[in-house]
Amino acid sequence: MTDTEDRPAGTPAVSRGGRRGKAADRHPLPGWAETALLVATALVVALLVKTLFMQAFYIPSGSMRETLQKNDRILVEKVSYWFDDVERGDVVVFDDPANWLTQEDGQTADGTITKMLAAIGLYPTGGHLVKRVIGVGGDTVACSDGRVEVNGAALDEDAYVTLPTQACTGTWTVEVPAGHLWVMGDNRNHSADSRVHIGDPGGGFIPVDDVVGKVFVVVWPSSRWQLLNRPGTFEDVALADPAGFVSTAAPFGLALTMCLPLYRRLTTAKRSYDRRT
């Protein structure tokens, strides 16, 4: 039986290929519109990555030689500090609300592409510094006989402080406030770091909240490609803050002391049971 015979009178005919017909009626986007949509999507993804996960910077000065050299391109990751604190030995990029940067040290976009990226916030244009974290909140950092000490333990800095003959000059001692950092450049003779700003209102300390992220790789030039790791000297248990150890150990010791009577009672009860059986 045909559709015509089956259809009630007055009912308009419907093509069996109706669905395909509707799809065929849809016009594809013109090439320029597809390109614009692709570029817009890429920009949104790039902004999300920059904001939440990773950001590119370049090194404008020699304050971190030889670890980082002038004009190195680096990547800074932000995920580590979602769940963990900034640690001693980390190389970090941080904002500069205290105006440590001089005009010649500031970052500037130096090309058509980088200027375009800077205009939409995908390329840093200034107001950031990169240094190594030497002390965290609660630490006592000192310079003694040309050596940097943290909580009384001397750092072995030969692995990264390569240019000066001494890791520090003069004699000074600072106590890092909670929520702050003491930072120093690896090129100790040419770094305007926390030491230079001891007399400033902030005392040379950097708020942890100003940290953008941790430098983890040099990506350009290709001859300089390297992953950055925390130097082994910062793993020395002697650097641990004694007060921090006490605050951690005290609750454990208190719990152990409270459990001892119960342990003795259980032991005595077991012995009595063993004698009866």
Active site residues: 63, 131
Token digits of residue 144: 């003694």
**Three-state SS letters, the chain:** CCHHHHCCCCCCCCCCCHHHHHHHHCCCCCHHHHHHHHHHHHHHHHHHHHHHCEEEEECCCCCCCCCCCCCCEEEEECCHHHHCCCCCCCEEEEECCCCCCCHHHCCCCCCHHHHHHHHCCCCCCCCEEEEEEEEECCCEEEEECCEEEECCEECCCCCCCCCCCCCCCCCEEEECCCCEEEEECCCHHHCCCCCCCCCCCCCCCEEHHHEEEEEEEEEECHHHCEECCCCHHHHCHHHCCHHHHHHHHHHHHHHHHHHHHHHHHHHHHHHHHHHHC
Say how far apart CA 272 and CA 277 lie, in whole Å. 9
Distances (CA, A) of 271 to 112, 162, 262, 266, 276: 85, 65, 14, 9, 9
Ramachandran region, residue 220 (left: φ > 0; alpha: ψ -120 to 50; beta: rest): beta
